[in-house]
Amino acid sequence: MLVLCDWPFLGSLWPALVGARHSEKPSIIWLLEHILETLQKHLETIQIAIKVPAPCLERAQLLALAASAEEMAAAVEAEEQRNSRAKTEYENLVCKLVSQVESGSLHWRHYHMALVMVKLLIRN
């Protein structure tokens, strides 16, 4: 669930983890370390937008003769809307994490977790 490529879900989960109350319990410390390790090892680069090139659309239309021009235009519009929503959710997540870091109220473990999350989000 930590590495699920669902922007609205990550946008609520990651800031909640970073903003969780600090605890010195060994089990909680282990859990936070395990979360960071899991993110760094298993988080793939998440694609924000998926754009199907025009030549691919033309070939697809040749293969799917039943698809009308209106259906193809609707599919392109749906793609643009999905990409726009994903970009907005991504930007909101980065802003939430950066705001938490800049607040100055995080324990060093949570501060470190937020920085790792931001690094994973903005890497190439």
Return the closest-CA partner of residue 109 out of 27, 38, 24, 42: 24
Task: Tell whether the model's pLDDT for residue 35 goes beyond 60.
Answer: yes
Q: What are the tens digits of pLDDT across the range 63-94?
A: 777 677 788 889 889 999 999 999 999 999 99
Segments making up each domain of the chain, as ranges: 24-38+103-124
Tell me the C-alpha distance between 83 and 49, whole Å. 5
pTM, full prediction: 0.81
